[in-house]
Amino acid sequence: MTTTVRTRVAIVGAGPAGLILSHLLADAGIESIVVDSRSREQIESTIRAGILEQNTADLLRAIDPDTRVDTVGHRHDGIELHFGGEGHRIDFPALVGRSVWLYPQHEVLKDLLALRLGAAQDLRLGVTVEGVEDDGSGHPAVLALDADGSPLRIEADFVVGADGSRSVVRPFVTGSRGGGYFREYPFAWFGILCEAPPSSDELIYSNSEHGFALISQRSPDVQRMYFQCDPATDPATLGDAEIWEALQVRVPGTTLTEGPIIQRDVLRFRSFVAHELRRDRVALVGDAAHTVPPTGAKGMNLAIADVVLLADALRALLVSGDERLIDGYAERALDRIWKAQHYSWWMTSMLHVALDASDFDRRRQLGELHSVVSSESGRAYLAEGYTGWPLPVG
């Protein structure tokens, strides 16, 4: 027996994008149902990046009086770019009058789940979406299996795929599983979480002859660090001593504070933009629509920027019957998506050392890094993208 429920917007995915969208819609009096295949515990413990652009931090404060972005999170006014044996600080407020916040995604998710559940959001976890149906009648439906395995049909006025890079909604929008512009990279990141206080006040992005390393943080007692590795690396094959050695040689001049390694993983790099972001009354946001390589931490910020645009468009469509913004959603979102694709590609290619790099390639890359740090316009370009371009309004 299929259970059928009705709502105005069916949102697939309870990540930052799906939860923020449900909030912005509720603010406009539009009811939604959010479904996700994961449990609350799984959602709250998924380790992702930790940098919020200024806009993202501002939005969290505006929607959630209890956000911990300023208490558990910390403002960061700069980063260090390290290369050729020297560190160069990029001072964000001095260059662009903006900052970023170090506030890990799983903490953002704890806040957002508490916010939405506190507002009695219809949030269904453990629900596996199997497909989307849209016969052009203006009433698409999500077909799913409920947490107990029984068939569930959610009929809506609009369906949003906020269900990540393995999106189930995407093939419906693009017509195929791939369905996009795609690029792979010849390197990956070996990432660790370790129990030790930060090695430096600000994040260090280091280009060294041994490859790239990023020294980041999670909390006063936990650090997140990454070093460039072969995408085929099995995280279980490296011992702790080898990991510390690999990190330490890539950040000469900084003594890393070591501690027990509590998690290790290999992150593959991809750039992807779906060919279509909307088909009739079904749209994609966040990783369902695009993926960026992690250098520069644009992923979650970009997802939230999509949501701000889509919420405006859905408000116009579902409250006033005005289709103009939804018709322009893909074009407007793609503007920022391609800028962020370029920025993430640029930071990645400028900071990583390709295995087959020639002496020319290496010297050119150092020339590029010098040209960025030695010019105020170069530093401002980096700072502007890192702290985030202004969100489109209305």
Residues that bind ligand DHB (CB under 6 A): 49-51, 203, 214, 216, 224, 294-297
β-sheet bridge partners, residue 86: 83
**C-beta closer to ligand DHB: residue 210 or 224:** 224
Question: What is the gyration radius of the CA atoms in the chain, in angstroms?
Answer: 21
CA distance 203 to 108: 20
Q: Compute the least distance from the CB of residue 295 to ligand DHB, in Å.
A: 5
Q: Is residue 329 among the annotated active site residues?
A: no
Q: Is residue 76 among the annotated active site residues?
A: yes
Q: Compute the least distance from the CB of residue 204 to ligand DHB, in Å.
A: 10
**C-beta closer to ligand DHB: residue 127 or 214:** 214
Please, where are the H alpha helices in the chain? 16-27, 40-45, 54-63, 92-96, 105-118, 170-174, 240-250, 299-320, 324-351, 359-373, 376-387
Q: Compute the least distance from the CB of residue 189 to ligand DHB, in Å.
A: 8
Q: Is residue 290 among the annotated active site residues?
A: no
CA distance 72 to 67: 9
Task: Give me the sheet containing 100-102, strands edge to edge.
Answer: 51-53, 100-102, 74-76
104, 298, 329, 352: the catalytic one is 298
Helices 16-27 and 105-118: angle between axes, nearest 10 degrees? 30
103, 205, 329, 343: the catalytic one is 205
Q: Compute the least distance from the CB of residue 260 to ligand DHB, in Å.
A: 18
Q: Compute the least distance from the CB of residue 274 to ligand DHB, in Å.
A: 22
103, 329, 343, 386: the catalytic one is 386
> Phi and psi for 127 in degrees, rounded to 5?
-100, 125
290, 294, 329, 352: the catalytic one is 294
**C-beta closer to ligand DHB: residue 229 or 297:** 297
Per DSSP bridges, beta strands 128-133 and 141-145 are antiparallel
Q: Is residue 205 among the annotated active site residues?
A: yes
Q: Is residue 386 among the annotated active site residues?
A: yes
For 352, other C-beta atoms within 10 Å of its C-beta total: 21
Please identify the residue of the shown chain whose CB is closest to the bound ligand DHB.
216
Please, where are the H alpha helices in 152-294? 170-174, 240-250
- Catalytic positions: 76, 205, 294, 298, 386
